[in-house]
């Protein structure tokens, strides 16, 4: 049986595809600024204003360590995920959920904070100690906030929360990309199975025509593991890059390095290391990754991936 060679691209083809990926990236970022961020900001501003209302402009955060009772309104704040998030952002600089858990020495689960007053007090005291004096000057000065101060503080805090939410959503793009690749694989007739560790020899790999999600492929993880109909395994990495500098890390130092390691572990006849890319990449880095035995596909052209899968199936007769 003659094995179908995976696609290999010329520099001119890389130029064309990377420019298309760049234009898609730019359109997404511009839409993010004009739409997604604005909507997220408005939602966050509602939560921040509700937090200020429930805490009398944060004045109710004056809780002494060791107090056995806590204001019921503060418990409502701690039990509400959106308000608790907003509360973390009144600290200067904002405090992460993981850091708050460590500093307050408690879980942030609503059930824990409602049932354990010491835990609730610990969270409030930790937040109060870190209040940003630039945004909330009235607290350190022992007075009430005027309308302008309150409005400015609410807007600044909402902007911090909204920015972090949008950044988090950006980091999830690779997961969204994985789902798009999975959908393309299903459309190509492949069946998803449970993830499993795959060792050289491929005895524990998905069966031909099957694929699984993130799992160890040899010594390194792959975002997806596809078993082609001709018996070869195709570990796929999904990579999103927001700059040409970032692309070196994600493409050459990560996906490319994995490809070389997988070829060494499994052999070129048993595996087709691949990557699905979106975002910003340099042609030079794409050519270098391809030279590392990495087969490159684009998130905006998953038909190329499906075509290769079909070709590998046809080669089996």
What is the model's pLDDT at position 317? 65
Indicate the residue among 171, 206, 226 that finishes a domain.
171
Q: Any residues with CB less than 8 A from the CB of 161 and at least 6 apart, and which?
A: 44, 47, 48, 85, 86, 89
Identify which has the larger pLDDT, 174 or 241. Answer: 241
Indicate whether 191 belongs to any domain.
yes
* Same structural domain, 265 and 278: yes
Query: What confidence category does residue 174 fall into, taking pLDDT thresholds of 50, 70 and 90?
Result: low
Residue 93 sits in the same domain as residue 74:
yes
Give the pLDDT confidence score for residue 7 in this predicted structure. Answer: 95
- Phi, psi for 201 (deg, rounded to 5): 105, -25
Residue 10 in any domain: the answer is no
Q: Indicate if 240 and 308 belong to the same structural domain.
A: yes
166 inside domain: yes
Looking at residues 130-135, what average pLDDT do you find?
A: 95
Cα–Cα distances in angstroms (integers) from residue 214 to residues 93, 174, 235, 237, 281, in the given order: 35, 12, 9, 9, 24
87 and 146 share one domain: yes
Q: Which two tokens stand for residue 223?
A: 């975002």
Look at 67-76, 245-254, 294-303 and tell me which has the smallest mean pLDDT.
Answer: 67-76
Confidence of residue 72 (pLDDT cuts 50, 70, 90): confident
- Cβ–Cβ < 8 Å for 63, 125: yes
Check pLDDT > 70 for residue 211: yes
Among the three residues 109, 143, 171, which one is the final residue of a domain in this structure? 171
| 287 shares a domain with 201 | yes
Q: How many domains does the chain have?
A: 2
Q: Are 189 and 309 within one domain?
A: yes
Beta bridge partners of 225: 212, 235
Q: What is the pLDDT of residue 167?
A: 85
In a domain, residue 226? The reply is: yes
Q: Which has the closest alpha carbon to 49: 81, 72, 83?
A: 83
Tell me the two tokens of residue 287.
């050519």
Cβ atoms 279, 247 nearer than 8 A: yes
Write down the pLDDT at residue 8. 96
Residue 58 near residue 131, CB atoms below 8 Å:
yes
Domain identity same for 200 and 284: yes
* pLDDT above 80 for 289: yes
Final residue of a domain: which of 143, 171, 199? 171
pLDDT beyond 70 at 66? no
Mean pLDDT for 240-244 is 87
Q: Which residues span the domain enclosing 131?
A: 33-171
CB 124 within 8 A of CB 61: yes
Say if 81 falls within a structural domain: yes
In a domain, 290, yes or no: yes
Cis, bond preceding 315 (omega within 30 deg of 0): no
Residue 281 neighbours by CB under 8 Å, 6+ apart? 18, 21, 241, 244, 247, 251
pLDDT, position 1: 60
On whether the CB atoms of residues 17 and 8 are closer than 8 A, the answer is: no
Question: Looking at the structure, do residues 133 and 197 belong to the same domain, yes or no?
Answer: no
Higher pLDDT pick, 288 / 250: 288
Q: In this structure, is residue 24 part of a structural domain?
A: no
Q: Is the per-residue pLDDT at 221 higher than 70?
A: yes
d(CA 173, CA 238): 9
**184 and 253 assigned to the same domain:** yes
Take residue 73 and report the two structure tokens written for it.
Answer: 């309104």
**pLDDT value at position 68?**
64
Cα dist. 88→124, 144, 301 in Å? 10, 21, 41
Per-residue pLDDT at 64 exceeds 80: no
207 plus 92 within the same structural domain = no
- By mean pLDDT, which of 30-39, 234-243, 269-278 is the weakest? 30-39
The reply to whether 1 falls in a domain is no
Q: How far, CA to CA in Å, does 157 sit from each of 33, 86, 88, 142?
A: 18, 8, 10, 21
């Amino acid at each position: 049986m003659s094995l179908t060679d995976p696609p290999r691209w010329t520099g001119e083809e890389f130029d064309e595809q990377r420019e298309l990926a760049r234009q898609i990236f730019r359109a997404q970022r511009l839409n993010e600024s004009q739409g997604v961020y604005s909507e997220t900001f408005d939602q966050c501003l509602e939560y921040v204003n509700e937090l200020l209302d429930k805490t009398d402009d944060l004045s109710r955060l004056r809780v002494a360590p060791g107090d056995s009772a806590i204001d019921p309104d503060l418990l409502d704040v701690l039990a509400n995920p959106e308000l608790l998030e907003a509360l973390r952002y009144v600290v200067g600089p904002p405090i992460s959920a993981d850091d708050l858990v460590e500093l307050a020495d408690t879980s942030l689960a609503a059930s824990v904070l409602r049932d354990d007053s010491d835990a609730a007090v610990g969270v409030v005291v930790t937040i109060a100690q870190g209040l940003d004096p630039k945004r909330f000057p009235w607290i350190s000065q022992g007075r009430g906030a005027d309308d302008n101060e309150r409005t400015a503080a609410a807007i600044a805090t909402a902007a911090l929360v909204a920015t972090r939410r949008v950044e988090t959503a950006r980091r999830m793009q690779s997961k969204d990309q994985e789902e798009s690749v999975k959908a393309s694989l299903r459309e190509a007739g492949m069946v998803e199975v449970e993830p499993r560790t795959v060792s050289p020899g491929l005895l524990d790999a998905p069966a031909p025509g099957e694929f699984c999600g993130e799992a160890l492929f040899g010594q390194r993880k792959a975002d997806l593991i596809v078993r082609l109909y001709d018996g070869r395994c195709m570990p796929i990495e999904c990579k999103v890059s927001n700059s040409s500098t970032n692309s070196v890390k994600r493409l050459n130092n990560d996906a490319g390095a994995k490809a070389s390691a997988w070829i060494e572990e499994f052999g070129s006849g048993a595996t087709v290391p691949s990557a699905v890319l979106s975002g910003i990449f340099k042609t030079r880095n794409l050519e270098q990754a391809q030279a590392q035995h990495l087969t490159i596909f684009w998130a905006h052209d998953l038909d190329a991936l499906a075509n290769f899968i079909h070709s590998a199936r046809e080669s089996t007769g």
